[in-house]
Structure 1
Amino acid sequence: MEFDQTTTYGVFVAVVVASVAALLVTDTMPTRIVLMMVAPSVLVFGALCLFLGIKHGEYRARGA
């Protein structure tokens, strides 16, 4: 599968939306807590993982 910038960010947004939507649908927590605390945390953690994944891919592509 070929990942370009659009595909990468699209998958990232889809994962964040799916995780927040799942919490909203299952009524695990109140909606305001999910939107005020969980959603930003998922975005930050996801962005960190995406950044580290990109850097690791660059490292592997160099053949070092």
Structure 2
Amino acid sequence: MWSIRDNDAPVIAGHVYDELFSNTEPDSSGAALALHHAVKLLRQQVGDSAFLSWVPFIHVGL
């Protein structure tokens, strides 16, 4: 497991939960896609060369 940076975690968590709870009922089936979108936003913010910020965030599961 990789460690994550303190400044990056709230960005990722905020975007993931915003997307998961965007409907009236929470829907965990979109967790992988929500994480993908959150990482994409973080990657745009910090740049591709700051890969230690966005690489640790992976989805494991169904």
- The TM tier, using the shorter chain, reads 0.3 to 0.5
The structure whose Rg is larger is 1
Give the TM-score normalised by structure 2: 0.46
Higher RCO structure (Cα 8 Å, ≥6 apart): 2
Considering fraction of residues, name the structure with more helix: 1
